[in-house]
């Protein structure tokens, strides 16, 4: 069990019996422990992999930007939006926390009680002030093992919650086109173009004719869809799939497609687990974080599984930090790995030549 979940269990005597919603919980046994103590527990996550884990382990599980509790029947009473007890696990981004607190303060009943828990490294020490912006009574319940637990009651939103208030819109100029991008808090490089993706776009602009991506394209870890949309706006004939584990990323990508009059498939997936077709190209700025922790195994597993979703002549194009050993990992799976571009601490790699089954 994660340290944050252990802190919840230390204070369990202060929780009323009844229905409880866990928001963005870690994939551990907390929900089972709470059920064993008589609570009716549901989970909701903005990460598809986590929601799938809870579903596979017998929990009532939902996935999305904010809870659509119609998907969790029996959790709420008629006319009520959120149960009166919620446990929220702190995200690392302050603006995402603010968005979730605003939503909860608007959606919870007057007698609602919110527990906010997080590790010190996620910024939980400063969360009390933010809680006071949305709840009338805030108390620090406990702290242990570099974690803090707050209790907030008397929800008092400063204004009606509107998701649109947290959307950031910005323009991306690429050769011969301008894209209108949309992003939500919690998405990688929220509201800006990160340097790694910029280097990858520069490399893509140099690929012409038969060397350019065509056919079925998978943008893996798509974020708000910058890479995929940059390809699609130049060649609407592409069959593009935007894949991400994050509901926030997929909603941002959907809004970005809509803003540019483009169409693509949106696919929630933890890694490549939900992919059911083969692609001619995979393009990616691969993620390597889970929360605040670096997890390079994400990329390693992604490279190993790519052969199952690429066509026989399929290619992969990606960008990474210079220090990451991606060439060696790609060489384990592909016959040829070329470095196409390098700059500002990043490199662009193209892998090809495997005989996929």
The upper half-sphere exposure of residue 184, i.e. CA atoms within 13 Å in the direction of its Cβ, equals 25
* Helix and strand counts by DSSP (H, E) for the chain: 10, 18
What is the separation, in whole angstroms, between the first and last Cα of the chain? 39
C-alpha distances (whole Å) from 288 to each of 4, 238, 291, 295, 299 are 22, 27, 10, 5, 7
- Tell me the two tokens of residue 311: 């066509």
Predicted confidence at residue 292, as pLDDT, reads 46
Mean pLDDT of the region 228-242:
96
Rounded-to-integer distance, Cα 350 and Cα 343, Å: 16
Decide: residue 294, CB within 10 A, 0-12 exposed, 13-18 middle, 19+ buried: exposed
Radius of gyration over every alpha carbon of the chain, rounded to an integer in angstroms: 22
Rounded-to-integer distance, Cα 201 and Cα 283, Å: 10
Average pLDDT score, the chain? 90
Specify the pairing of strand 147-155 against strand 113-119.
antiparallel
Identify the CA nearest to 86 among candidates 185, 18, 29, 32. 18
Which of 210-214, 224-228, 351-355: highest mean pLDDT?
224-228
Mean pLDDT of the region 19-37:
96
| pLDDT at position 75 over 70 | no
**Residue 79's pLDDT band (cuts 50, 70, 90):** very low
Predicted confidence at residue 8, as pLDDT, reads 97
Predicted confidence at residue 296, as pLDDT, reads 64
């Amino acid at each position: 069990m994660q340290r944050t979940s252990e802190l919840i269990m230390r204070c369990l005597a202060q929780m009323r019996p009844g229905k409880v919603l866990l928001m963005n919980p870690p994939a551990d046994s907390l929900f089972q422990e709470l059920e064993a103590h008589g609570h009716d527990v549901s989970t909701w996550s903005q990460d598809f992999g986590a929601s799938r884990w809870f579903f596979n382990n017998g929990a009532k599980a939902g996935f999305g930007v904010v809870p659509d509790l119609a998907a969790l029947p029996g959790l709420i009473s008629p006319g009520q939006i959120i149960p009166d007890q919620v446990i929220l696990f702190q995200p690392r981004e302050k603006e995402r926390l603010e968005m979730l607190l605003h939503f909860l303060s608007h959606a919870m009943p007057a007698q609602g009680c919110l527990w906010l828990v997080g590790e010190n490294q996620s910024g939980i020490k400063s969360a009390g002030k933010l809680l006071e912006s949305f709840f009338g009574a805030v108390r620090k319940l406990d702290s242990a093992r570099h974690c803090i637990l707050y209790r907030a009651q008397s929800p008092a939103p400063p204004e009606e919650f509107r998701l649109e208030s947290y959307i950031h819109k910005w323009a991306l100029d690429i050769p011969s086109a301008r894209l209108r991008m949309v992003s939500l808090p919690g998405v990688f490089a929220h509201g800006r173009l990160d340097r790694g993706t910029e280097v990858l776009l520069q490399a893509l602009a140099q690929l012409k004719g038969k060397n350019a991506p065509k056919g079925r394209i998978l943008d893996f870890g798509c974020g708000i869809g910058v890479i995929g949309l940059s390809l699609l706006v130049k060649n609407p004939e592409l069959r593009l799939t935007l894949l991400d584990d994050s509901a926030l990323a997929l909603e941002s990508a959907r809004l970005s497609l809509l803003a540019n009059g483009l169409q693509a498939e949106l696919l929630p997936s933890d890694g490549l687990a939900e992919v059911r077709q083969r692609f001619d190209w995979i393009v990616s700025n691969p993620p390597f974080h889970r929360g605040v922790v670096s997890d390079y195994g994400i990329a390693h597993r992604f490279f190993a599984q790519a052969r199952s979703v690429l066509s026989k002549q399929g290619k992969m194009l990606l960008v990474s930090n210079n220090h990451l050993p991606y060439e060696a990992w790609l060489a384990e799976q592909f016959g040829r790995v070329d470095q196409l571009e390098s700059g500002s601490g990043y490199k662009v790699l193209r892998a090809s030549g495997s005989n996929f089954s």
